[in-house]
Chains A and B, each alone.
Chain A
Amino acid sequence: MTDSDVWWSFKSSPMTVTAAAATFLIIAVAFLSPVLAPHTPFDPATLSLSDGLKPPVLVSPDGDWTFPLGTDDQGRDILSSIMYGTRLSLEVGFASVIVAMVLGIALGLVSGYFGGSVDALIMRIADVQLTFPAILVALLIDGVVRGIISVQRHDEIAIYVIVGAIGLSFWVQYARTVRGSVMVEKNKEYVQAARVIGLSPVLIMIRHVLPNVTGPVLVIATINLGLAIITEATLSFLGVGLPSTEPSLGTLIRLGNEVLQSGDWWITVFPGITLAALVLAVNLLGDWLRDALNPKLR
């Protein structure tokens, strides 16, 4: 399919256009949060307990326009927390997709290009890992890292641990897809020609084989972005993700959940809506991309 076909299929689907607009709006607002956010919620110097537990303006006369979506029990502005939290969630999501993608592509290329026992070993590991849901693998990796390093140190590097854990739990799909394409491509004339003129396997893989698999890899990456964001939020909600000194959307929802019984719903519900909207928009984009780039994948 040519680029203009993809563009046409994009334009002719109003849902996709809306999803794309929503995704870019959320990304833009999140990354501009230091400029746009009305408060810096996690700087203790700017907080005042007397601002605590203010309800949102639109539902209650007790609301305060300085805190449009209300505040939590510490007096932190919910709107600003969400903006900073979304940025963190997106950063972790993108970073872990990149880790999974690089790892999966590398292993898939090696596996498909060399075949034999290397291939068998990598694919058996993939099989075993596929037996377990990604969230379990991520939880396990996180637990092991906690066993090796101290708690203090863990909080400092929590974000890298999470990115690594999610990245490691999502590589299999890329590796399988890339391996399949490589096995088809490596017997074609152009690859044989490249081999005849004496190019190194690494160069052949990266320059000649890799460009042929970018389509499916892009599709998997988009779909995985939504999954990665959900996984990070779930880990943080379970209390094994990012620390509450630097909250992502999942951490915000967990903090709100702790006071949910007293009826202060806004602390949980607004970060929840943001998370759901972000994931829904990314998933819709992923679905569309899958259909537009490769109808056979359906």
Chain B
Amino acid sequence: MLAFILRRLLQSIAVLLTVGLVAFSLFRYVGDPINAMVGQDTTMEQRDELRTKLGLNDPAPIQFARFIYNASSGNFGLSYRTSEPVGRLILERVPATLELSFCAALFALFVGVPMGVYTGLYPKHWTSRLFQAVSLIGISLPTFLIGILLILVFAVSLHWLPSFGRGETVQIGWWTTNFLTWSGLKALILPSITLGLFQLTLLMRLVRSEMLEVMRTDYIKFARARGLTNRAVNFGHALKNTLVPVITVAGLQLGALIAFAIVTETVFAWPGVGQLFIQSVQFSDIPVMAAYLLLIGLLFVLINLTVDLLYFAVDPRLRAQGGGARVAGH
């Protein structure tokens, strides 16, 4: 198991370095950092002097090492667009994105998994068929369209919920939260549903097909023969055995959730990191893009690593084998 974890760690570091290299090349070779720092009237000599002073004439590997060192201490340079430190720009917006993604994930998990269990247990029931049909539409509708339709119904027509912004937020240290005011909570509802809907349908379909498979196995028949209650069979035996693939997909989808927050944040004018990223793409604000890329890379690597480690907690067979081969199927 230790060897497996070590190998995964090494792989993660390799992935992170590659992402760092891409981010560095963007930062260094696309657009000129000097142009962003000085005015029009700076002479060529002054520019060259600044270039040497900043170390932009050093060999590329040294610059790369310096870039990684700076990035790991949270220093990503200045934004081309606003001339503010990129680290601070991102940090200001992190709470908004994380709270939104958290709510969307909860929504997807606590609605999607029960729906999946239900449709898996009663595949012929009309509500199951309805869930299936709705989930197919949910997968085919792009995120932004769902958001627009929700705004149209609940904000423009019914005036129940706000259509943009975070509402009133409360400041706790550097963290701003939506959870403590009524208007903040109301503002969370539509964006969370929009962001979580795709993941919900995905989880539902996955749990459903896994449940259908597990319910055919002998140990379920045996559990019934032992006279266990339906509840014990369905949740203690069946659902538990669907968890490995569900954890994988749910974990990987957590990353997708944060990526698709870009779209949701644009639709709802949600002041998060994704909105910042879109603005930086529009203005080709390279330092912000590079920093975002690095952060997302780090996040994804951490998620993948956690998912791999969770297998050990969920599936005792892996622990018995001492790691190495990952068991697929049942």
The residues of A with any CB-CB pair to B shorter than 8 Å are 124, 127-128, 131-133, 135-136, 139-140, 142-144, 146-148, 226, 230, 233-234, 237-240, 253, 257, 260-261, 263, 265, 268-269, 272, 275-276, 279-280, 283-284
CA distance A146 to B81 in the complex (A): 14
On whether A263 and B156 interact (CB within 8 A), knowing A143-B280, A238-B278, the answer reads yes
Indicate the member of B136, B137, B140 with the most A CB atoms within 10 Å: B140
Nearest to A134 among chain B residues (CB) is: B259
Does B281 contact A133, Cβ atoms closer than 8 Å? no
On whether A265 and B262 interact (CB within 8 A), knowing A131-B297, A140-B293, the answer reads no
B282 smallest CB distance to A (angstroms)? 6
B146 smallest CB distance to A (angstroms)? 10
Provide a sorted-by-A list of 22 A–B residue pairs whose CB atoms are within 8 angstroms: A124-B14, A127-B15, A131-B297, A131-B300, A131-B304, A132-B297, A133-B256, A135-B259, A135-B263, A144-B30, A147-B26, A237-B142, A238-B262, A238-B263, A238-B278, A260-B148, A261-B156, A263-B156, A268-B148, A276-B145, A283-B136, A284-B136
A284 to chain B: which residues have CB within 8 Å? 136
Residues B161-187 near A (CB distance < 8 A): 163
Determine which of A131, A132, A279 lies in contact with B142 in the assembled complex, contact meaning CB atoms within 8 Å: A279
On whether A147 and B286 interact (CB within 8 A), knowing A135-B259, A261-B163, A272-B145, the answer reads yes
A127 to chain B: which residues have CB within 8 Å? 15
Does A146 contact B281, Cβ atoms closer than 8 Å? yes
CA distance A182 to B24 in the complex (A): 35
B76 to chain A: which residues have CB within 8 Å? none
Nearest to B267 among chain A residues (CB) is: A257
A283 to chain B: which residues have CB within 8 Å? 136, 139-140
B15 to chain A: which residues have CB within 8 Å? 127-128, 131
Chain B contact residue count (CB 8 A cutoff): 45
On whether A139 and B152 interact (CB within 8 A), knowing A147-B30, A234-B143, the answer reads no
Determine which of B30, B280, B282, B296 lies in contact with A148 in the assembled complex, contact meaning CB atoms within 8 Å: B30
Residues B122-171 near A (CB distance < 8 A): 136-137, 139-145, 148-149, 151-152, 156-157, 163
B270 within 8 A of A: no
CA distance A147 to B26 in the complex (A): 9
Does B140 contact A260, Cβ atoms closer than 8 Å? no
B149 to chain A: which residues have CB within 8 Å? 269, 272
A132 to chain B: which residues have CB within 8 Å? 259, 296-297, 300
B19 within 8 A of A: yes
